[in-house]
């Protein structure tokens, strides 16, 4: 699958959390029937990719880690049905074993919120099956006072080294600054403001600011009410080179993008 979109159009990735505890929509799509219906709706609303995850990454703490068996058991009644819809599916997991199961079912992209740096099997799996892999910047904990962009470039340098050692072509990587992961409130804003620095790598850039806590902190809005803030953050990210947006509400983001495109094409 080629994700280096030559047409310059921004792609939308719809979030499908088959979890009881995700930070903004935990439980909403935990029942398989609800998850399948949500995927169908997101595709009708214009999703280009569906990102399915069965373990909350809990960027804001309170993680309830699940084992491989549980994660696969949550995916099993949903993933094959979503794949049947014919839209590319990415698997949001921290475990190579789960990623392998999903790719086997027909998923086409791996989404690794640890940028190949947690499970050593991830880079090897992506290399062996020659699939694109989203490498997200992450840190065990936020640290005040560091230069977050320097930290991110050092992180991606390590990711590139791991990819090379595993025989994974650099062109298979999609970079993601990891909004909300291991960053202070200010650092999230700095990252979004300086996102154009990621253009230097010549790789697709994905951003996932949807409903994240920094929007709540600015606006006072609860997760479900963070749509306008999500659109604003993603608009600024697109201006600075993002080509894939990971969102909960596909319809809203699609409408916003179509207006931006219409203005730019006038």
The residue (of 38 and 111) whose beta carbon lies closer to ligand HH2 is 111
Residue 128 token pair: 């062996």
Residue 171 half-sphere exposure toward CB, CA atoms < 13 A: 6
Give the relative orientation of helices 185-193 and 148-166 as an angle to the nearest 10 degrees: 70
Size of the site for ligand HH2 (CB under 6 A): 22
The residue (of 132 and 178) whose beta carbon lies closer to ligand HH2 is 178
Measured from the CB of residue 3, what is the shortest distance to ligand HH2 in angstroms?
13
Q: Is 249 in the site for ligand HH2 (CB under 6 A)?
A: no
Helices (H), the chain: 32-44, 68-75, 79-84, 96-105, 121-129, 148-166, 185-193, 213-219, 227-239, 250-265
Which parts of 78-117 interact with ligand HH2 (CB under 6 A)?
92, 111, 113
Q: Beta partners for 50?
A: 14, 89
Q: Is 208 in the site for ligand HH2 (CB under 6 A)?
A: yes
* Region near ligand HH2 per CB under 6 A, out of 76-84, 137-145, 171-179, 236-244: 171-179
Determine the residue with CB nearest ligand HH2: 208
Cα(140)–Cα(182) distance, integer angstroms: 6
Looking at residue 10, the DSSP 8-state letter turns out to be P
Which parts of 111-150 interact with ligand HH2 (CB under 6 A)?
111, 113, 134, 136
Task: Judge whether 92 and 52 are in contact, CB under 8 Å.
Answer: yes
The residue (of 50 and 261) whose beta carbon lies closer to ligand HH2 is 50
Residue 135 φ/ψ, nearest 5 degrees:
-110, 105
Q: Where in the sequence numbering do the catalytic residues fall?
A: 212, 246
Q: Is 183 in the site for ligand HH2 (CB under 6 A)?
A: no
Cα(224)–Cα(40) distance, integer angstroms: 20
The residue (of 177 and 256) whose beta carbon lies closer to ligand HH2 is 177
Residues of this chain that interact with ligand HH2 (CB under 6 A) are: 15, 17, 19, 22-24, 53, 56-59, 92, 111, 113, 134, 136, 176, 178-179, 206, 208, 246
């Amino acid at each position: 699958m080629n994700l280096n979109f030559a047409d310059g159009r921004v792609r939308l990735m719809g979030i499908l959390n088959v979890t009881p505890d995700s930070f903004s929509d935990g439980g909403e799509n935990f029942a398989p029937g609800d998850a399948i219906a949500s995927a169908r709706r997101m595709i009708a609303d214009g999703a280009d990719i569906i990102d399915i995850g069965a373990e909350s990454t809990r960027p804001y703490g309170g993680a309830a880690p699940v084992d491989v068996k549980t994660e696969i058991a949550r995916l099993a009644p949903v993933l094959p049905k979503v794949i049947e819809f014919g839209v590319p599916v990415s698997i949001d997991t921290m475990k190579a074993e789960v990623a392998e199961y999903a790719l086997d079912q027909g998923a086409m992209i791996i989404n690794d919120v640890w940028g190949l740096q947690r499970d050593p099997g991830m880079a090897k799996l992506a290399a062996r099956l020659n699939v694109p892999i989203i490498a997200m910047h992450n840190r065990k904990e936020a640290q005040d006072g560091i230069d977050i962009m320097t930290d991110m470039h050092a992180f991606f340098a390590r990711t590139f080294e791991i990819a090379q050692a595993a025989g994974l072509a650099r062109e298979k990587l999609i970079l993601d600054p990891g909004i909300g992961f291991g960053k202070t409130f200010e650092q999230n804003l700095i990252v979004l403001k300086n996102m154009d620095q990621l253009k230097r790598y010549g790789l697709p850039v994905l951003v996932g600011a949807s409903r994240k806590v920094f929007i709540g902190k600015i606006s006072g809005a609860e997760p479900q009410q963070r749509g306008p803030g999500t659109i604003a953050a993603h608009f600024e990210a697109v201006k600075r080179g993002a080509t894939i947006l990971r969102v909960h509400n596909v319809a809203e983001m699609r409408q916003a993008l179509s207006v931006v495109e219409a203005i730019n094409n006038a």
